[in-house]
Chain A
Amino acid sequence: MARVGVFICHCGENIARTVDCARVAEYAATLPGVAHAVDYRYMCSDPGQRLIETAIREHGLTGVVVASCSPHMHEVTFRRTVARAGLNPFLCEMANIREQCSWVHEDREAATAKACELVRLMVEKVKWNTALEPIHVPVTRKALVIGGGIAGIQAALDIANGGREVILVEKGPSIGGHMAQLSETFPTLDCSQCIMTPRMVEVKNHPNITLYTYAEVEKVDGYIGNFAVTIRKKARCVDEALCTGCGECQSKCPQGKLKTSVIPNEFDLGLSRRPAIYVPFPQAVPNVPVIDKEHCRYFQDGKCGVCQKVCPAKAVDFTQTDQVVTEQVGAIVVATGYDVMSSGEYGEYGGGRYPDVIDGLQFERLLSASGPTGGEVKRPSDGKVPETVVFIACAGSRDRSHGVPYCSKICCMYTAKHAMLYKHKVHHGQAYVFYMDIRAGGKNYDEFVRRAIEEEGAVYLRGRVSRLYQKDGQLIVKGADTLSGQPVEIAADLVVLATAIQARPGSDALAQMLKVPYDGYGFLSEAHPKLRPVETNSAGVYLAGACQAPKDIPETVAQASAAASKVLGLFSMEQMEREPTVSVVNERTCIGCFDCERVCPFGAIEHREIRDRRGNLLKVVSHVNEGVCAGCGACATTCRSGSIELRGYTDEQVFAQIAAVGV
């Protein structure tokens, strides 16, 4: 038999002004199953809480209803109160007679009558409450970071410096990402590689970081605190342990002869060529070459093998095969970054047809001291130093018809930087910038753009380019300056398109593997756009950098550190405690249609085999992984046979309340 205690709070005058609390208590005492009912001035005060504790002990209460403010205000308070008196905290419910009664009704009679009913609803509910124990999930205190750009590097270093082990997986042969390709960074113009490479080396040398380069995450099983990750280490054909990074192999590779090589250098975005055995860039980490089997003569026709012969460390091993390793981790940080839309996708601006129409990242390489031109600005077609350069912003961004509707966020800033750096390198040159709007929000950002215009003489034209064609070795750019209302025609030597930032190809497949939602453009979705910007709806998976949306370096680093702090927070305990209000399956009546699995946004539904004592499979039923379930209850609603209950919000509890309304 239920022995419910009802505690009516006056909240000073807040409730008592419109609700006759004594009458509510009197009424509550008449309800079946109520063993004790009392009103008090401030139930959340120390004496108020002691009143509840004493009553629980004295009256042997099996459930408590506190009629006071919103549970969003004091549910935690009163659950702790009842727990102190030895009652399970989930046997406490709150009737909201302040926010949803006394504060919204003026008629004392009506408000008192409603308060009585709200109490009755909760008394009926609490009779069906059951004691729930928090769910403890063991946590493997080791993190996986996917992607070795600045986001992944920052997250990995922060976690590692926090004393936890990290596995950093990078798809390419070296970490560094796009930031290693950049010349100088806005708005301070510090050299990107100068600030990047020390961090890359730190990753390599950090005792807590295991670095897998030229590797990909192939499979993710498990859940928060308990992921099993399968990683494929692709065959480099060079033994990392033996290689000294002397570079002899690449200099002797016959495919690498400067004049004859046909292999585009990815790091220079096709603006230079590379050998078949190569280190992507001189500061690569690890400084170990990799053999590009598609272009290697040994792999193509079995001849050659020069690299193996010249290697003084005997590190070249053509027989190496892919290795698959499985790692146990407790949290995953996704930092897979972005790609820029190729200028080739923007045909009307001559992208892909005219060699001197390039994208912003290619221009970074032309500006970079380690780039194909050694830092001299020379145009790709004939190596001439361009005297007029046109920069076109929003090439693909904010363009529903050709590109993507979103703003790529970094282009306004890097275009200003490009115009400025170009001017620094070619003093007599003239930069023109076609733009739609200048979005330079950020510390010292607008000042930077003003500097490009006012001090470095970049001519900013507000308008779109309507036509671009080649004539007499130059590119004729026709557009409009919408501020003066005049048509503009510029004969340029080089055109740089600030093409849109896009999600990495394959980011959708990765998102599916991690059960993280993603938008229509392949960017991964955060759990809440404002309050949970680095978490995802897949518990234990966090986001860092441009895989979530276009962002610049400071923002990326900030988000990576935020993700790292979330991981370290999770790793601060050996066991993670979760709310027990999760779903539970009645395996006896479940028929295994798995409609619940289809509606579960969290991938919490697992398949469980039911076997008889001889091991014969009887049926396969749903099973809720309590470590993953977030307690939304969509499964319970979808289950036709009523075989799933959401603890804390069971059908019984809801029915009891519905029935109590009808009394």
Chain B
Amino acid sequence: MMSDTFEPKIVAFVCNWCTYTGADLAGTSRMQYPANVRIIKLPCTGRISPLFIMKALEQGADGVLVSGCHPGDCHYTAGNYHARRKYTIFREMLHFLGVEPERLFFSWVSAAEGRKWADLVAEVTDTVRRLGPRRSAWGEPVEGIAAPRLSANPVPFEAPAGTFAAQAEAMREKAKALLAGGEVGTVIGYEQGTLPGTARPAFVSTPEEVDRLVWNEHCHQNLAVYAARKPAKPGKVALVVKPCDERSLVGLLQENRLAREDVVLIGMACHGVQSEGALAPRCAACQTRTPALADPVIGEATPPTATADPRLEQIARIEQMAPAERWNFWQGHFSRCLKCYACRAACSLCTCERCLAEKAQPRWIPAPPDGAGNLSWHAVRAWHLAGRCVDCGACSAACPADIPLYLLNLKLAQVVKDAFDYEAGRDPAAAPPLTTYREDDAQEFIR
């Protein structure tokens, strides 16, 4: 390309049966279009992983085009329906991370639509050419643009006096009975942390040890993280769970990580937990105060007060930012990431035995804790939790670098709710949203 104008590199992922054949038709019909697109052929849009889009951006593509069969025409019946759901979420995620939406294109091009393909390539090339080169490499901040800071107004913490003590007593009694009766081998609950005003997970296996267990506003950890792990002591495990933790278990049940009868749940009616002296932001608008799955439910919950979720306002503010500001906002946070994977370890739904981050062949996520590696890691993590994250807050709480991971997860939960009317962790019998589809799923973003 010898002209002075910027010639973008555009990667097109297309399905073999419709779009690739449509592109061939454009050729046999000698339709002229710009030479900027590099086609990578896959059998089906079902095989075109959204992570390929990420990989193309990571490798420096200026624009990405994904194209396959029109709904109803998939050679494999439903690949494009599944793909459409994935792109719906992934695209929103990239936007939220600050990738300019104008660089991503989705289109259905049939084997008969040579004209559509030629026009599409012309339009995509023109659009990206006008946008110019990407302003920064993958994982690098855009120079000269300040990243706005966000803070949320704290909501004061209030719980009815004496409730925690009474609940704690009842919980210990139940735990003792379970251990004494041999029904379980281990009870996982909370104990006093090293510092005052903290609690930490506790594993007790004899009735005598039960007195260590506490229940108070500092018990923020999600103990469901231990549910799918093999206990050190023989016998079943009983978990002390809040209603939000219980939603993790719903996810684990959906994904065959355990069976309901494998675990005893001591459900705690919830008054919210504390974070930095105030009510944890995720508790402010929480409507689920009573466990639904638990075997016994201990205590009675205060009816939820109608408070707005302060985090939604944060999300709205991020969305109002210009893409470059948004990009820099996230690069600023991700630049602190150490790749310690504490977020992964704390997550009750990160149950893979070998995380994609550790897969070396091929390397999905650049290993070093640098710009590209950190961005790809957080994008993959959020993507893998889309439609699964139950908003327990464990990842953000565990992050030593204070990266507001919850914002990303919560945003995707919103997208899933809006697009597919699905909330994670509510119904163990429901099909996870990225494993099913509706023929009439929205597709405004697909040309």
Contacts and interface: CB of A to CB of B under 8 A. Distances in A.
Interface stretch (A113-121, A210-218, A220-228, A506-514): A113-121
B62 to A, nearest CB: 10
B136 interface: no
Given A640-B352, A651-B362, A104 B47 contact: no
B35 A111 contact: yes
Interface string A180-194: 000000000000000
A113 B35 CA distance: 9
B220 to A, nearest CB: 26
Interface in A499-527: 517, 525
Interface stretch (A30-38, A363-371, A549-557, A590-598): A590-598
A121 B40 CA distance: 8
A661 B44 contact: no
B23 interface: yes
A633 B46 contact: yes
A620 to B, nearest CB: 8
A111 B356 CA distance: 38
B27 A109 contact: no
A662 B255 contact: no
Interface stretch (A43-51, A401-409, A416-424, A641-649): A641-649
A103 B27 contact: yes
A517 B352 contact: no
B355 A633 contact: no
29 contacts: A70-B27, A72-B24, A96-B39, A99-B24, A100-B23, A100-B27, A101-B35, A104-B33, A517-B77, A537-B77, A591-B351, A592-B256, A594-B256, A595-B432, A595-B435, A601-B76, A602-B76, A630-B76, A632-B43, A632-B75, A637-B48, A637-B49, A640-B352, A640-B384, A651-B362, A658-B55, A661-B11, A661-B59, A662-B61
B16 to A, nearest CB: 8
A104 B353 contact: no
A335 B383 CA distance: 44
Contact of B59 (A71, A636, A662): A662
Interface in A314-341: none
B405 to A, nearest CB: 17
A96 B14 CA distance: 14
B118 interface: yes
Contacts of B351: 591, 593
B38 A661 contact: yes
Contacts of B27: 70, 98-101, 103-104
Leading 7 A-B pairs by shortest Cβ distance: A633-B47, A99-B27, A634-B46, A598-B435, A632-B76, A662-B59, A103-B27
A595 B46 CA distance: 13
Nearest to A110: B35
B257 A598 contact: no
Contact of B79 (A72, A592, A601, A640): A601
Contacts of A654: 40, 42, 52, 55
Given A99-B28, A594-B255, 11 more contacts: A72-B24, A96-B24, A104-B33, A104-B35, A106-B32, A528-B75, A595-B432, A599-B82, A632-B44, A661-B61, A662-B9
A655 B56 CA distance: 9
Contacts of B364: 642, 651
Nearest to A583: B47
B26 interface: yes
B55 A655 contact: yes
Contacts of A595: 255, 432, 434-435
Nearest to A649: B42
Interface in A617-663: 620, 630-634, 636-638, 640-643, 646, 649, 651-652, 654-655, 657-659, 661-662
B353 A591 contact: yes
A616 to B, nearest CB: 12
B1 A636 contact: no
A589 interface: yes
Contacts of B149: none
Interface string B301-330: 000000000000000000000000000000
A3 B47 CA distance: 29
Nearest to A590: B353
B356 A599 contact: no
Contact of B43 (A646, A652, A657): A646
B59 A593 contact: no
B2 interface: yes
Interface string B121-134: 00000000000000
Contact of A598 (B42, B86, B359, B436): B436
Contacts of A643: 354
Contacts of B75: 528, 632
B24 A658 contact: no
B1 A109 contact: yes
Interface of A: 70-72, 96, 98-101, 103-107, 109-111, 113-114, 117-118, 121, 517, 525, 528, 537, 581, 588-589, 591-595, 598-599, 601-602, 620, 630-634, 636-638, 640-643, 646, 649, 651-652, 654-655, 657-659, 661-662
A316 B77 CA distance: 50
A623 to B, nearest CB: 14
Contacts of A111: 35
Which of B1, B41, B61 has the most chain A CB within a 10 Å cutoff?
Answer: B41
B353 A634 contact: no
A654 B28 CA distance: 26
Contacts of A72: 20-21, 24
A640 B46 CA distance: 14
A378 B71 CA distance: 51
Nearest to B434: A638
Nearest to B47: A633
A581 B41 CA distance: 14
A447 B1 CA distance: 65
Nearest to B351: A591
A460 B363 CA distance: 73
Contact of A104 (B26, B61, B86, B362): B26
Contacts of B61: 658, 661-662
B42 A633 contact: yes
B78 interface: yes
Nearest to B354: A589
B11 A658 contact: yes
A590 to B, nearest CB: 8
B30 to A, nearest CB: 6
Interface string B239-263: 0000000000000000111000000
Contact of A601 (B11, B23, B77): B77
B35 A657 contact: no
Contacts of A106: 32
Contacts of A589: 352-354
A101 B28 CA distance: 11
Contact of A593 (B20, B118, B256, B431): B256
Interface in B330-358: 351-356
A101 B256 CA distance: 48
Contact of A661 (B9, B20, B28, B255): B9
A100 B362 contact: no
Contact of B361 (A101, A637, A652, A662): A652
Contacts of A103: 27-28, 30
B180 interface: no
A581 B23 CA distance: 23
A593 B362 contact: no
Contact of B38 (A70, A117, A537, A588): A117
A659 B59 contact: yes
B369 interface: no
A598 B432 contact: yes
A110 B32 CA distance: 12
A631 B43 contact: yes
Contacts of B435: 595, 598-599, 638
